[in-house]
Amino acid sequence: MGSRGCVRFRGIYVLPIRGKKCLIIDPKLGGSLSSIIQTSLLKEHGVELRHLSAEPIQSDCTKVVFLVRSKIDLMKFICSNVHNDISKGLQREYHVYFVPRRAVVCEKVLEDEKVHQLMTIGEYPLYVVPLDEDVLSFELDLAYKESQVDGDTSSLWHIAKAIHKLEMVVPEINTLILLDREVDMVTPMCSQLTYEGLIDEFLHINNGSVELDASIMGVQQEGKKIKVPLNSSDKLFKEIRDLNFEVVVQILRQKATSMKQDYTEMTTTTQTVSELKDFVKKLNSLPEITRHINLAQHLSTFTSKPSFLGQLDMEHTIVEAQSYDICYEYIEEMIHKQEPLVNVLRLLILFSVTNSGLPKKHFDYLRRELLHSYGFEHMATLNNLEKAGLLKKQETKSNWLTIKRALQLVVDDTDTANPNDIAYVFSGYAPLSIRLIQHAVRSGWRPIEEILKLLPGPHSETKRGRFSSSPSFDTLQGASANIDRAADGRRSLVLVVFIGGVTFAEISALRFLTAQEGMAYDMIIGTTKIVSGHNLAETFVEKLG
């Protein structure tokens, strides 16, 4: 996988406000900022850091800087903070920095609330956050919901801008693949089975790290949480992150065993100095091995649960799309048992999407049972899902079987240890999204055009652009781009952008593709956000109240 370019994105943005100040940040920005600014550095510069909420500011700084995404609903927090100060007779200097740019609508709200004239407004043009060597995020976690449910397509403009910026910084990108999440809502709803994917499913990776009880990592400190960084600077993680979890367990076991063996030899036989050296070198990797053994052990407490196995089984049954009734009853039972709503929604979405909706009777029944079990306030949730087309009444016959067969999405004998297909990431299901990219890269969209027509969403010309023959950015790069880069031994660089989010499992599958022999492309992945079925489904959960 190409690590070209992404690092160049680590820019340092400086807010031009001198002196002691209270910096109030939008909690959602916290993570992406921490990958750019160190909080300790802020403290050194006399900055008090707070999270934005309805609670009034507790600070005696005279300068207050709000750093927020340009979202309408955040404005009420700013307004209530300022109103609170005014009512207490506090005079402060307010600055609002919008990420990534000012928004007319936000300023309108500030005007409506009569606080606009008290503010100095600025912009903080953070469009792209590098998450890893080959992954860039635009940090738009609500992009899918906003555009599908609310009809607010602001994120698309943001994405276009981000791609434009990328183009300037990494001019060697010569092909762009845009993939709308809408095309494949099946994949994210399935439980990821790669190591990194599973960690995300159960422990929620946040900006390249997970937070865990210290005891899990073998640190005996009562109730203390620790952050475990997960990125490619950890050599062992880089090696195993994309593998199926089953295999990871075996690899870790082997490593531990061989370490133990070496140690025994070391203590029982006499060693030459160079052998000693080798051993010490191996010892250096011991903390990494321990870390991942702890993590893997913790994960297996989840993966061995019958409920998880049952859920996996059900996901495969739904994707197979051969046994409607079993699936229907399983979901009905989940609702009756009042299992966590998001888990239910994931399966329900998967079920509805693969069946292109549910027969009216079932649709109404399950919705009623859901409202009865989880409360009528979830009418809004159901309404959201319906608007997004993720849970709907069946109106046409489903194309899923055709798609599944034509693209060979279900692969029966998957050798997870020595995979020869991307299906290993879901132990037998090849993610539709990545299968499409695989086809695009190998032979262009044309041969699968008929299938593309069956997929949701309009298929514009650009989507089916002649991929292999002429990269779409030729005209921008001038004549030199016409030279086939693959021919001179250097791989072309493809930017794959997932509009609406991508899962770790899909990233793994893409990395697997680029590692294949004869692949003429390196890939950089751009995404609105790293998602899992859990947090994607969660974005639709809304209460009326």
Q: Could you list the residues that contact other proteins (CB under 8 A)?
A: 72-73, 75-76, 101-105, 108-109, 112, 150-154, 156-157, 160, 304, 306, 332-333, 336-338, 364, 367-369, 371-377, 379-380, 383, 543-545
Dihedral angle sign, alpha carbons of residues 227, 233, 239, 241: positive
Shortest distance in whole angstroms from residue 280 CB to other proteins: 34
Shortest distance in whole angstroms from residue 274 CB to other proteins: 39
Shortest distance in whole angstroms from residue 154 CB to other proteins: 4
Q: Please tell me whether residue 530 adopts helix, strand or coil conformation.
A: strand
Burial class (CB in 10 A: 0-12, 13-18, 19+), 46: exposed
Give the residue among 186, 149, 538 at the shortest CA–CA distance from 349: 186
Provide the residue type at 35 as one letter.
S
Shortest distance in whole angstroms from residue 76 CB to other proteins: 7
Q: Which is nearer to other proteins, 139 or 146 (CB)?
A: 146
**Percent helix, strand and coil across the chain, each rounded to 5?**
50, 15, 35
Q: Which is nearer to other proteins, 263 or 376 (CB)?
A: 376
Q: Which is nearer to other proteins, 266 or 380 (CB)?
A: 380
Shortest distance in whole angstroms from residue 327 CB to other proteins: 16
DSSP-assigned beta bridge partners for residue 522: 493
Q: Which is nearer to other proteins, 61 or 109 (CB)?
A: 109
Q: Which is nearer to other proteins, 30 or 375 (CB)?
A: 375
Shortest distance in whole angstroms from residue 10 CB to other proteins: 27
Q: Which is nearer to other proteins, 161 or 446 (CB)?
A: 161
Shortest distance in whole angstroms from residue 379 CB to other proteins: 6
Q: Which is nearer to other proteins, 8 or 76 (CB)?
A: 76
Distance CA 456, CA 462 (A): 16
Provide the residue type at 504 as one letter.
F
C-alpha dist (Å) from residue 337 to 169, 344, 350, 374, 377: 52, 10, 19, 11, 19
The Cβ of residue 416 has, within 10 Å, a number of other Cβ atoms equal to 19
Shortest distance in whole angstroms from residue 103 CB to other proteins: 6
Q: Which is nearer to other proteins, 133 or 332 (CB)?
A: 332
Distance CA 321, CA 335 (A): 21
Distance CA 101, CA 200 (A): 30
Q: Which is nearer to other proteins, 377 or 484 (CB)?
A: 377
17 and 95 in contact (C-beta within 8 Å)?
A: yes
Shortest distance in whole angstroms from residue 151 CB to other proteins: 3
Q: Which is nearer to other proteins, 81 or 438 (CB)?
A: 81
Shortest distance in whole angstroms from residue 66 CB to other proteins: 17
Shortest distance in whole angstroms from residue 501 CB to other proteins: 20
C-alpha dist (Å) from residue 471 to 43, 475, 494, 510: 47, 9, 10, 19
Distance CA 78, CA 212 (A): 32
Task: Give Cα 213 distance to the centre of its chain.
Answer: 23
Strands 93-99 and 129-132: unpaired
DSSP-assigned beta bridge partners for residue 120: 95
Task: Give Cα 343 distance to the centre of its chain.
Answer: 18
Provide the residue type at 509 as one letter.
A
Shortest distance in whole angstroms from residue 300 CB to other proteins: 11
Q: Which is nearer to other proteins, 187 or 427 (CB)?
A: 427
Shortest distance in whole angstroms from residue 22 CB to other proteins: 25
HEC string for 44-71 = HCCEEEEECCCCCCCCCCCEEEEEEECC
The Cβ of residue 242 has, within 10 Å, a number of other Cβ atoms equal to 25
For residue 340, say if its preceding peptide bond is cis, omega within 30 degrees of 0: no
The per-residue b/e assignment along 282-293, b for 16 or more CB within 10 angstroms, e otherwise, is eeeeeeebebbb
Give the residue among 99, 122, 114 at the shortest CA–CA distance from 36: 99
Distance CA 323, CA 355 (A): 11
Q: Which is nearer to other proteins, 369 or 538 (CB)?
A: 369
Q: Which is nearer to other proteins, 110 or 203 (CB)?
A: 110
Give the residue among 304, 296, 215, 220 at the shortest CA–CA distance from 256: 296
